[in-house]
Amino acid sequence: MLDQWYKGQVTRIVQETHNTRRFWIQIPEKECFDFKAGQFVTLDLPIHEQKNKRWRSYSIASPPDGTNTIELVIVFLEGGAGTNYLFNQVTEGSELTLKGPLGHFTLPEQLDKDLFFICTGTGIAPFRSMAQYIKAHDLPHPPIHLIYGCRQQCDLLYASEMCQLEQELNDFHYIPTLSREDDLWTGRKGYVHLIYEELARKQPAHFFLCGWKNMIDEAKQRILALGYDRHDIHQELYG
C-alpha cells in the first residue's frame, strides 16, 4: 500500500496572493482522506518522462476533517516546471494523480511543551493544519507561537484567519514578521529568528521549522545555541 496513487479532482482554485494559489482536491475513491495534521501529498505531474522529475510534494494546508477533500497552497516558482503546469494547465475540474499522506512532520504525542511554529511563505501550510486541528478537537495545549516570515504584508497567507484564530484559540500567538515593509506596517519587522530567540526563555519547547533551506539551517544553529537539543527541532524543507 506504500505506493498507492489516487486520482484527485481539483474542485476549487483561489488566487490568494499575486503569486500563490489555493487548490482544493477531492479524492473520490476515498470516503475520508485520512491524514495527520502536518503531513504532505506528492503529485505526479505530466512534465517529464522520468518519474522522480515529475513528482512534487506539498504540505496539506487543511486540517483533517473527515472528508475526502484536501487543500494545498502553492507558490509560483519562476522557471519551475511543476508550478508552471499547476498554474497554467490545471483548472477547476482537472484531474491530478497523487499519493499520500506522507511524512512525520506531525504534532508530538504529548502536547506538554511550548510549540514554536516557525515558517516562511507557503511554509505556513502544515501549521495552519495543526492549529485548526487543535482548535477543532479542543485539545489541551501549551502556548503556541506561530512566527511567520514574509517580505511584505501582501504576501501573508491566511492572515485574517490567523488573527481570528488568535481570538478563538487560547494561548495561540500569531506573529507575522515582515522583512521588507513600509512604515504603515505596525507589526514585527525583520526576520523570524530574533522573535523566537526573544520568546524562548529556556522553557521546554518543540521547534517546528517549515520553509526555505536557508531559514531552516540558520534557525537550527540558533536554536541549538540557545541550549536546546537537536531532538527538540522538527523540520520540513521546501525547495
**CATH number of the domain enclosing 212:** 3.40.50.80
Contact (Cβ atoms closer than 8 angstroms) between residue 189 and residue 216: no
Residue 56: which residues within 8 A CB-CB, separation 6 or more? Answer: 42, 43, 45, 82, 83
Helix (H, G, I), strand (E, B) or coil at 22: strand
- Across the chain, which has 239 residues, the per-10-residue mean pLDDT values are 86 97 97 97 96 94 98 96 97 98 96 97 98 97 97 96 97 96 87 95 95 95 97 88
- Cα 149 from Cα 118, distance rounded (Å): 8
Q: What is the DSSP string of 35-104?
A: --TT-EEEEE-SS-SSGGGTEEEEE--SPP-SSSEEEEEEE--TT-HHHHHHHHT--TT-EEEEEEEE-S
Q: Examine residue 108 and state whether it is found in any structural domain, yes or no.
A: no
* Domains in the chain, number: 2
The pLDDT value recorded for residue 52 is: 86
* Size of the chain, expressed as the number of residues it contains: 239
Q: Is residue 204 part of a domain?
A: yes
The C-alpha cell that represents 112 in the structure block: 506538554
Query: What pLDDT, on a 0 to 100 scale, did the predictor assign at position 2?
Result: 58
Q: Looking at the structure, tell me whether residues 153 and 233 fall in a common domain.
A: yes
- pTM over 0.85, yes/no: yes
**By the 8 A CB rule, do 63 and 132 touch?**
yes
CATH classification of the domain holding 40: 2.40.30.10
Q: Is the dihedral of CA 50, 51, 52, 53 positive or negative?
A: positive
Q: What domain range is 178 assigned to?
A: 114-238
| Same-domain status, 127 and 209 | yes
Cell of 208: 517546528
Residues 82 and 130 in one domain: no
